[in-house]
Structure 1
């Protein structure tokens, strides 16, 4: 039923209220000249009100229902001479249907737009004016306020309903685009963590070895550039997508992870919308494998529980930060990983004693489409509702990751 549901309910309420009003007018007039006929018409109006209240939402306002609604309402309107005598018509400003006659104009406007509402209102208004003329009322003295209001009601309600449908469609498309963008970000992080890094390594090693390996490295470099362009999405204004410090030349640095452990397995993970207590993971278990002779991992004695998906995303972000240390710092550079919990926030900081990040390097990385920090670190933490703070100087760089302890339970919409 969508956005039209509230409109159909409002029209049903209007029909019921108008039906009660018509019955009250009939009672006040003593049944007009023909009480039996009057109450028979009121009964038809009541039955049709009940039918349309149920039929319009379920039938999605198909043309047969709209035409039947117009025909029944016009028939009740034109039955007025059977209920009112000429004297009644002179004394009473309204036909037997009273304001109930506006129902089809409103329904046509909601179902088919303002033009259809105007057409329906014009047909009913013509019937009303003809009826008054046939009852001997001077055409010049015929009140046209009802016809004008009926026409305006059909046009205005139809216009508002059309605007509501357009707004609903825009909202639906915006939700789809946001979902597609978030999925694109998730896939881009996984690609950066695996394929792009392997291609960059092949390119560098091929250039060092030379010969046929150099051609292989060149092809790998072309594929890396093409893949980066494919998965790159525009970064939000004011949030420079960085990583990606440009390669400095020379052999690729060995990873700072322990030789045989390799840290948590890298793969894109979806954070569940809702997770029960059994799905909580101790973040310390995911950080310890990063420890080695050059990486010191420090964590509290008590567990740092996070929802499973969120914990793996934080662990992967830490791994991406350590990868940057191995890529852009000198061989043997020390790094420290410190995890702690302060109230409802879990914080993990990755600090190194490298040369720091030169001014403007992150902005240049964003322009070049490099996305390690932007997607593998900032993107992951942002999806969890957390924050990333990067502090860099000539004595080293510190990346601080902060996420709520219930991160991942309430996804952004």
Structure 2
């Protein structure tokens, strides 16, 4: 991500500055019995600083192999310190050869993976630092380990927040672009397709017969197309707004009512619920006639989403559903009840002769 760039550049600057600091300590020869070996370690540090600076600047190389190599090289330079310090190891005022350079991989791990990976890298480096000290109770060493943990956790947290902010900004930009495109399409479609569909619907009703059925279908497609144009594009990844699926079934004979706020469900659950609603509406059309009225009401409760489908037909006689199931007609049993049961929900059907039928579908949200 582009927002990570400043973090990696800051780590590169830190590597160079801490390398210079380690070289200055080596030049003063304070606490180092084997300065030649020390300069060899400094040389390795310089080579790795150059290589890591280049590698981390290339996004495709920022992967776990590079991070693991970064930590291994740092630990190798740190664990070489006893051979450079000799008998002066642990003496007051002495530092390992890498000095503060060892914090660079901790920062890199934190930027890449967040708080936990930063803390894990800090634990490895701090353990190596503590192992080198002959007087573990020395407060300076303990303070250094604490600072490594704080750096890993804080930098990892800030980097994670920055990534999340960039993702939100990117989604917002995509939503805005999609909305602009939708508005452009709406302007183009409104004066052509929608008007033609509306005309077919009106003329079909006037002519009657088979043309009335064509008019009804044109009305359904007009309502679906209007909803597609007006629908909001933004939903969380992996979720679907059930409203947008239900509103497609709206027509002069079917009234769909939904809340103003999204009814977010897992994509598979939303599609299954919409298919069950369609099966219920198909039953209304098949058993009550094409002119029968139906009402679809969707609402959300505490951890549930409920969709009810009510019609003004003659109702279902007692025992009719059991007879249909025994005869192998499984429209209600499988297309509605079976489908909803597979999604973890349940269906209740209430029918009064002469007063219509109501099918209520309840799903976990």
Q: Structure 2 length normalisation: TM-score?
A: 0.58
Is it true that 1:189 corresponds to 2:207 in the alignment? no
Corresponding position of 1:261? none
CA contact (8 A) 1:80 1:95 kept: yes
CA contact (8 A) 1:31 1:38 kept: no
Q: CA deviation at 1:159?
A: 1.6
Secondary structure at the aligned position of 2:167 is classed as: helix
* Equivalences, count: 231
Picking from 226, 229, 248, the partner of 2:227 is: 229
Partner Cα separation in structure 1 for residue 156 and residue 178 of structure 2: 33
1:203–1:94 CA distance, 2 compared to 1 (3 A): same
Q: CA deviation at 1:120?
A: 1.1
1:20–1:204 CA distance, 2 compared to 1 (3 A): same
Is it true that 1:169 corresponds to 2:167 in the alignment? yes
Corresponding position of 2:100? 99
- Give matches, 1:154-165, under 5 Å: 154-165=152-163
Partner Cα separation in structure 2 for residue 81 and residue 36 of structure 1: 13
Corresponding position of 2:137? 140
Partner Cα separation in structure 1 for residue 40 and residue 207 of structure 2: 99
Secondary structure at the aligned position of 2:183 is classed as: helix
Stretch deviating more after TM superposition (84-93 or 6-15): 84-93
Secondary structure at the aligned position of 2:133 is classed as: helix
1:184–1:80 CA distance, 2 compared to 1 (3 A): same
1:50–1:199 CA distance, 2 compared to 1 (3 A): same
Q: CA deviation at 1:6?
A: 1.5
- Give matches, 1:271-282, under 5 Å: none
Corresponding position of 2:201? 203
Q: Structure 1 length normalisation: TM-score?
A: 0.51
Corresponding position of 1:149? 147
Is it true that 1:65 corresponds to 2:63 in the alignment? no
Partner Cα separation in structure 2 for residue 55 and residue 163 of structure 1: 24
Q: Deviations over 1:219-242 (max 9, x none)?
A: 43343233222322369xxxxxxx
Is it true that 1:17 corresponds to 2:17 in the alignment? yes
1:120–1:226 CA distance, 2 compared to 1 (3 A): closer
Q: Deviations over 1:356-391 (max 9, x none)?
A: xxxxxxxxxxxxxxxxxxxxxxxxxxxxxxxxxxxx
Partner Cα separation in structure 2 for residue 48 and residue 74 of structure 1: 12
1:142–1:203 CA distance, 2 compared to 1 (3 A): closer
- Give matches, 1:84-123, under 5 Å: 84-87=85-88, 89-123=90-124
Between Structure 1 and Structure 2, the one with more helix by share is: 2
Q: Deviations over 1:247-269 (max 9, x none)?
A: xxxxxxxxxxxxxxxxxxxxxxx
Secondary structure at the aligned position of 2:146 is classed as: helix
Partner Cα separation in structure 2 for residue 104 and residue 111 of structure 1: 10
Q: CA deviation at 1:121?
A: 0.7
CA contact (8 A) 2:111 2:156 kept: yes
Q: CA deviation at 1:142?
A: 4.6
Partner Cα separation in structure 1 for residue 54 and residue 87 of structure 2: 37
Partner Cα separation in structure 2 for residue 110 and residue 171 of structure 1: 19
Partner Cα separation in structure 1 for residue 195 and residue 71 of structure 2: 68
Corresponding position of 1:48? 48
Stretch deviating more after TM superposition (98-107 or 218-227): 218-227
Corresponding position of 1:33? 33
Q: CA deviation at 1:77?
A: 0.9
Runs of 5+ unmatched residues, structure 1: 236-413
Q: Deviations over 1:255-291 (max 9, x none)?
A: xxxxxxxxxxxxxxxxxxxxxxxxxxxxxxxxxxxxx
Corresponding position of 1:178? 176
Partner Cα separation in structure 2 for residue 233 and residue 48 of structure 1: 54
- Give matches, 1:307-322, under 5 Å: none
Root-mean-square deviation (CA), in Å? 2.4
Partner Cα separation in structure 1 for residue 120 and residue 144 of structure 2: 15
Q: CA deviation at 1:48?
A: 0.5
Q: Deviations over 1:185-229 (max 9, x none)?
A: 221221111011122233334455566655544443343233222
Partner Cα separation in structure 2 for residue 63 and residue 234 of structure 1: 39
Partner Cα separation in structure 1 for residue 23 and residue 69 of structure 2: 23
CA contact (8 A) 1:132 1:142 kept: no
